[in-house]
Amino acid sequence: MKKSIVILCTLLLSSCAIIFPKVFQRKPANFSLENLWFNTQLDYHKNARYLLNTTQLSYNAFRSDAYNEQLLNFISKKLGNNTLTRETYKTADGKIIIPFKIEYDLTKENIELLQKTTDLDYVILSKILTPDLINKSKDPQYDSLKYRSGVLAGSVVFFKIFDIKNNNVLIEMSCKSSVYDDEQFNFDTNSYEKDTRISTYKSEDQLIKKSFKRIFSRIE
C-alpha cells in the first residue's frame, strides 16, 4: 500500500512538472548581493521622516503590489511611525501631498519638488527587473547582471534610500536571483548527480521575496 502511494505521488509530481515547468521544477536558487552605495546606518532620529514609494515592477509604477507589504513591514519594524506612504502622507484637510509618480531614478524635477513641497528627510525606492529586461537592456550598468542561457526564472531587485535634504543616496543595493536548467538534476533523488544539494526553488515570486530579505539582512 505504501509503495503504491509513493508511485502515485511520483507520477503526480512528474505530471505537474510537465504542465507547470516554472512552478514545479525543483531547482536550487542562486543569489548575488551587490552594494551599489552602502551605508549600513539608517537614520533613527525620532523626527526623521521616510516616504516609502511604491515598488516598481518592470519599469512600470503601480499603486500597490504584493511586495509593498513586505517592504512596509520591514521598514515599519525598523523605523516605527517614521514611515509614511503616498497614501498616508496628506495635508491637514486630507489632500495627498505627492500626487505624482516617483521614479526609481529620481529626476532633478522630482528632487526639487520633494525638497520644496514636503518636510520629508528620505524616500525609499525599489524596482524589480526580469531576466529578459536585464538581458535586452543596453544600459552598461546592467552588464554585470545579465543572465546566461538556460535560465528558468530570476529577477534583480533594487533597493535605494535617497536623502532628500542633502540630495544624495544613503543606501543602494541590488540582489540578483537565478535558477538555471541543468541536465544533471535527478528528480528521483531531488538532487544533482555530482553532489547532494537539495533544491529549493518553487516560484519566481518566492525568488523576489528572498532577494528582498537578503537586502534587508544587510541593513542595520
| Digit-coded pLDDT (tens) for 175-190 | 999 888 765 555 555 5
Q: Are 37 and 158 in contact (CB under 8 A)?
A: no
Residue 27's CB is within 10 A of a number of other CB atoms, namely 19
The share of the chain scoring above pLDDT 70, in percent, equals 72
Query: How far, in whole angstroms, is CA 194 from its chain's centroid?
Result: 31
pLDDT at 191 (0 to 100) = 56
* Measured distance CA(189)–CA(70) in Å, rounded: 34
Q: Quick one: DSSP state of residue 20?
A: S
CA neighbor of 126 nearest in space, from 89, 96, 155: 155
CA distances from 7 to 10, 21, 199, 220 (A): 5, 20, 21, 49
Q: How many residues does the chain have?
A: 220
CA distances from 85 to 58, 94, 114 (A): 21, 14, 14
Residue in the block written with cell 552598461: 140
Model-level pTM? 0.75
pLDDT at 196 (0 to 100) = 47
Mean predicted confidence (pLDDT) in 123-141: 91
pLDDT at 38 (0 to 100) = 67
Query: Is 70 exceeded by the pLDDT of residue 155?
Result: yes
* Measured distance CA(215)–CA(28) in Å, rounded: 19
Q: Are 79 and 46 in contact (CB under 8 A)?
A: no
pLDDT at 172 (0 to 100) = 93
CA distances from 196 to 191, 192, 199 (A): 6, 6, 9
